[in-house]
Amino acid sequence: MPVPEHLEFFIDPSRCIGCESCVQACSECDTHRGHSMIHLEYVERSRTTQTTPVICMHCDSPTCAEVCPADAIKRTEDGVVQSARKPRCIACSNCVLACPFGVPKMKSDLELMMKCDMCYDRSSVGKKPMCASVCPSQALFFGTREEIERLRKRSAAVNRFRFGNQTVTTKVNMMVPRDARPEYIDVAAAMEEDSLGGDIMLNVLST
Amino acid sequence: MATLPVEKLQIIQEFGPHGAFMSGIRLDPGVEPDRIVKTHCCFCGQQCGIQLKVKDEQVIGFEPWLEFPFNRGMLCPKGVKRYLQGSHPDRLLNAVERDGSVPSGFKPIEYEAAIRRVAEAIKRIQNEHGPDSFAILTGASLTTEKAYLIGKFARMALRTANIDYNGRLCMVSAAAGNKKAFGIDRAANPWSDIPNSEVVWISGANVGECAPITTDYVWQARENGAKIIVVDPRITPIARTCDLFLPVKPGRDAALFNGILHLMIEHDWIDHAFIEGHTVGFDAVAASVKEWTPQKTADVTGIAVKAIQRAAEWWGTAKSSFLMHARGIEHHAHGVQNVLGAINIVLASGRIGREGGGYATITGQGNGQGGREHGQKCDQLPGARDISNSEHRAFICKVWGIEEADLPKAGVDAYEIIRKIDRGEIRGLISICFNPQVSLPDNNFVSQALDKLEFYAAIDFFLNETAQHADVVLPGSLHEEDEGTVTQLEGRVIKINKAVDCPGEARQDWKIIQDIAHALGREHGLTFASPAEIFDELRIASKGGVADYSGITYEKIENQFGVFWPCPSDDHPGTPRLFEPGSWNPVAKGSGPFYFPDGKARFNIAEYRPPVEDTDAEYPLMLTTGRVVSHFLSGSQTRRIGPLVEQYPEPRIEMHPRLAEQHGIADNDWVTAETRRGDTTLRAMVVTTIRPDTIFIPYHWPGRKSANQLTNSAQDPISKIPEYKACAVRIRKAQGPPDWEAELEPQQ
């Protein structure tokens, strides 16, 4: 069964409280065998309590899969990028180095790359992934777009990200403030096809 | 004698804490559970709903309980991993008694023999020194049924006045303040009122780490347009994205509230009609805050004048609001005054007793609310009745079938029990679910007092640091091995359901208590066959009291996802929101919504006093203590759960870079923090998220890592809560790691 189309994943780092409930719950998903396949990043603990949960963004064209020399990373038809397949993975870490979001992690003791599979055993039957079920601040939210728009009036969901020459579209959405997009000054902004000239802010996130 | 039978390291080797991780059947992806049990978390006051998966009489994991309305499946990491306590290598599977000749210091003893030993010791000590020479210390993690039973056991079987509980370290300042202002001690509003508030004021509450699910409510309010005000010496996760952060100096909260009220009055941001119609004592309080000008408030609190003015304006002009506080303002020798200050700005605003107009304390412990309401507090009888009130005493004596002369009077608080032990006035002790050796302040003194006990029996499922002093340890039950009710932080009475049987010789706590009563030959009134039977009597005992549970049944709890007390009759749905206009209560009898004969709330002068031990040239910094998200209280449980230990392995000293630089300290350096009571050497955590004049140490660890070696045992004169949150300290860079670094695992 595929993940129901009306259910989507939304991440809102502004809500993250760094509690690691998501990380702890990930290892409790039946198919994860005690391993957490997500992690929590401290942006810079010496200066802020800002943290962000790092789950897979489930890219439409996953860089991790594209660079895998062993073809160990598969994307299902419903857009979920799976963890590396044990019989194929050669633990080369290409995917770890290539992912623009810093998602995959190499489990050196298992010689296997493991990453979020959106709790496929759960999400493919309409259940919430473990992390989004437990997240106390609902920084990780799994539900319908109508729900998120009703609940999060201050934020907009984006799923297109620009990394240099690469634009990545993802199945998972990032919630960003409606009125405070990140400022990214780049001469390339004035070179955009639809630029009227004089643009200096490169749009790195777009809905 | 209650000295340690052998070296501490030898005890730890056998009894832990050791870390438990997922293993065996819990790692098998193909396992279908035999059953799934709806219950609640065993840790904090939020009591999140959770479903436990059971296979082969073992809890193998959890499934989120999405339908339970308070948390809708959400859990913090403690709730996620709590099930690893089952089948834990440290679990006490049989009774043990001290024996200095065996390597671990304790040898197994047959359960019945252990019970006989306890009963004989009680008889001997009480015969020689009187009934009050034997004390009981209880925990607020006990179900309400157990708390009721142990209160009855203390007063009927032991006839001792000396029973108290570890809510004394948690909820009592809020309880005392609430009783003085409202006549009742419970959150005024359910959490569902938070998202409808225009302003949410959070004082002294590290919500993100200590009550994580509450974060969602607060931030839903923000999504709906609310402004969030956070008052804390540290930028905690909830403070990071608040609209207004007030970096209060530890121990100055009453001054801040007085300053806010001063501005509310000056700008006429007060609800005259509410004050006139529903309160008493405003004029005296208004006079008392005249001196609290913005400048004076700023000078005392360490908060900028403009920030104070902005906070007062936001609070004063809001149409709806919710004020929450927690231990940050309550853990003080003037904790009650801080709470009264908070309540004054709520009452002056008139925003209470209606939807989106609320006030609450964030209860810390799982049953901090229910336990004290029904018998484990030294001065309360079931139904939140007053043990000094002759009518209340007569009512309970009738329910229990005893003469009033045989019912002990009020006893002393938990810390005074320790002092009485030190003075030789108390010779024997039973403790259950309480680890004072770690959780009480100035705990080197606590160890010294415990050493003096003639006889000490502990009931617990792990041999915690206090139980290491015991003569006999009786193997009690884990949360998932018993059933009963607890009352969570909103005042919602909920049902804990049994998932598995006790292993080995372990027994449900209520059975152990009744077995001791039987061995004493004093089992009258203590022969219950189940928690349900205890609850039925508790309903009768609470009837007509302020905390009236008489209309609550297990079935009603199941059907309604909990019942908010008071619930005075079978057809009553419960009371989610207190103080609604026109509401009836047994004290006011219709004259008003508040629990005083005239139905009116009380303004109380909130007197500001600095911490008992303020900074000086010798000890120039403030020490404040608290929790981290992956541990709970004394850590007796969470320091045994491997993944939670890995998340936050050892305590660290949080300090600001400016302070660190003065002492040549870099992040991760070993630092010694020293107060007049003790010192500890821990690694530094250099962060810009704490005031430069304050250091913070989490208190979950024992022994040489314990923050409570340093804290001050000064107590609030009204609530008797200790001053955990403020004492004078100095720091210095250490030459290297302390001795324990090579000997102990992080959790030990």
* Mean pLDDT for the stretch of residues A22-34: 95
CA distance B672 to B736: 10
Contacts of A141 in chain B (CB under 8 A): none
Contact of A35 with chain B, judged by CB distance below 8 Å, is answered with no
Using a CB–CB cutoff of 8 Å, tell me whether A23 touches chain B.
yes
Inter-chain contact B223–A49, Cβ cutoff 8 Å?
no
Chain B contact set for A153 (CB, 8 A): 223-225
Shortest Cα distance, chain A CAs vs residue B545, angstroms:
35
Sign of the torsion formed by the C-alpha atoms of A86, A89, A90 and A95: negative
pLDDT score, position A207: 52
**B64 in contact with chain A, both atoms CB, cutoff 8 A:** yes
Q: Alpha carbon B334 to chain centroid distance? A: 18
Query: CB distance from B721 to chain A under 8 Å?
Result: no
Contact A24 B643 (CB under 8 A): yes
Q: Is the pLDDT of residue A114 over 80?
A: yes
- Distance from the first to the final alpha carbon of chain B: 24
Q: CB–CB of B261/B605 below 8 Å? A: no
Tens-place pLDDT, residues B693-719: 999 999 999 999 999 999 999 999 999
Q: What does the alpha-carbon distance between residue B112 and residue A143 come to, in Å, rounded to a whole number?
A: 55
Q: Please, what is the average pLDDT of chain B?
A: 96
Tell me what the mean pLDDT of segment B38-61 comes to: 97
| CA angle, B412 then B414 then B420, to 5° | 65
Contacts of A150 (CB under 8 A, 6+ apart): none
Which residues in chain B are closer than 8 Å to A45, comparing Cβ atoms?
Answer: 687
Question: Among partner residues B647, B667, B687, which is closest to A20 by beta-carbon distance?
Answer: B647
Q: Would the CB atoms of B235 and A31 count as touching at under 8 Å?
A: no
CB atoms B240 and A28 under 8 Å: no
Q: Cβ(A22)–Cβ(A55) under 8 Å?
A: yes
On whether the CB atoms of residues B327 and B724 are closer than 8 A, the answer is yes
Distance CA A26, CA A198 (A): 47
Q: Choose, out of B22, B31, B76, B234, the residue to mutate when testing the contact with A (most A CBs < 10 Å).
A: B76
Average pLDDT over residues B266-289: 98
**A25 and B CB contact within 8 Å:** yes
Q: How close A179 gets to chain B, by Cα (Å)? A: 13
Instruction: Confirm or reject contact between B646 and chain A (CB < 8 A).
Output: no
Residues in chain B with CB shorter than 8 Å from the CB of A30 are 29, 31
Task: Report how far residue B677's alpha carbon sits from residue B675's, in angstroms, rounded to the nearest whole number.
Answer: 5
Nearest to B633 by CA among B169, B208, B195, B88: B169
When scoring B194, B223, B646 by the number of chain A Cβ atoms within 10 A, the one with the most, hence best to mutate, is B223
Nearest-CA distance from B156 to chain A in Å?
A: 43
pTM of the model: 0.96
Render the burial of B126-155: b for 16+ CB within 10 Å, e for the rest.
beebebbbbbbbbbbbbbbbbbbbbbbbbb
Look at A134 and B64 and tell me if their CB atoms are within 8 Å. yes
Q: What is the pLDDT of residues B300-346, one digit of tens each?
A: 999 999 999 999 999 999 999 999 999 999 999 999 999 999 999 99
Answer whether B208 sits within 8 Å of A17, measured CB to CB: yes
Nearest partner of A30 among B638, B60, B231, judged by Cα: B60
CA-based nearest residue in chain A for residue B22: A34
Q: Which residue of B has its CA nearest to A24?
A: B77
Which residue, among A14, A24, A149, would best test binding to B if mutated, counting the most B CBs under 10 Å from its CB?
A: A24
**pLDDT score at B717:** 97
Tell me what pLDDT residue A201 has. Answer: 77
Q: Is A143 on the interface with B (CB under 8 A)?
A: no
On chain B, the residues whose CB falls within 8 A of the CB of A35 are none
Whether residue B30 is predicted with pLDDT greater than 60 in this model: the reply is: yes
Nearest to B629 among A15, A19, A28 (CB): A19
H or E, element range at B295: helix B294-301
Element at B312 (helix H, strand E): helix B305-317
pLDDT (0 to 100) of residue B438:
96
Amino acid at site B128: E
User: Cα separation of B136 and B153, whole Å?
Assistant: 10
Cis bond before residue B108 (omega within 30° of 0): no
Three-state SS at B603: coil
Q: Tell me if A14 and B241 make a contact (CB, 8 A cut-off).
A: yes
User: Is the pLDDT at B292 greater than 60, yes or no?
Assistant: yes
Q: In the predicted model, is pLDDT for residue A125 greater than 70?
A: yes
Using a CB-CB cut-off of 8 Å, the residues of chain A touching B220 are 151
| Confidence band of B1 (pLDDT split at 50, 70, 90) | low
Strand order in the sheet with B244-246: B244-246, B227-231, B199-203, B321-325, B357-361
Query: Looking at beta carbons, which residues of chain A come within 8 Å of B235?
Result: 48-49
Strands B621-626 and B727-733: antiparallel
Nearest CA to A96 among A71, A68, A72, A70?
A: A68
Could you read off the pLDDT of B115-151 as tens digits, one per residue? 999 999 999 999 999 999 999 999 999 999 999 999 9
Structure-token pair, residue B151: 């209160």
Confidence of residue A165 (pLDDT cuts 50, 70, 90): confident
Q: Max Cα separation, chain B? A: 74
A47 to chain B, closest Cα gap in Å: 5
Euclidean distance between CA atoms B369 and B363, whole angstroms: 7
Q: Does A133 touch chain B (CB under 8 A)?
A: yes
Structure confidence at residue B78 (pLDDT): 98
* Among B residues 224-283, those touching chain A with beta carbons less than 8 Å apart: 224-225, 235-241
B75-91 pLDDT per residue, tens: 999 999 999 999 999 99
Give me the phi and psi of B387, to 5 degrees please.
-70, -15
What is the C-alpha separation between B147 and B537, in angstroms, rounded? Answer: 13
State which residue of chain A sits closest to B216, comparing Cα positions.
Answer: A137
A82 vs B: CB within 8 A: no
Record: contact B76-A21, CB cut-off 8 A: yes
According to DSSP, the residues that pair with B361 across neighbouring strands are B325
Q: Do A134 and B643 touch (CB under 8 A)?
A: no
pLDDT at B460 over 70: yes
Residue A178 — very low, low, confident or very high, per pLDDT cuts 50/70/90? confident
pLDDT at A194: 76
Residues 197-216 of B with CB under 8 A from A: 208-209, 212-213, 215-216
Is the model's pLDDT at B222 over the cut of 60? yes
As a whole number of angstroms, the distance between CA A133 and CA A54 comes to 15
Between chains, do B209 and A138 touch, taking CB under 8 Å as contact?
no
Please give the C-alpha separations between residue B409 and each of B131, B156, B185, B335, B370, in angstroms, as whole numbers.
Answer: 12, 12, 21, 25, 21
Q: Do A46 and B687 touch (CB under 8 A)?
A: yes
CB within 8 Å: B74 and A46: no
B163-189 residue pLDDT tens: 999 999 998 999 999 999 999 999 999
Q: What is the mean pLDDT of residues B46-62?
A: 96
CB A162 within 8 A of CB A143: no
Q: Rounded to whole angstroms, how far apart are CA atoms B537 and B226?
A: 44
- Of B93, B236, B111, the C-alpha closest to B654 is B236
Residue B150 has a pLDDT of 97
Give the mean pLDDT of B477-499.
97
Nearest by CB to A151, from B27, B208, B220: name it. B220
Say how many CB pairs under 8 Å bridge A and B. 121
B687 touches chain A (CB under 8 A): yes
Whether residue B252 has pLDDT greater than 60 = yes
Three-state DSSP at B346 gives helix
A203 reaches B (C-beta below 8 A)? no
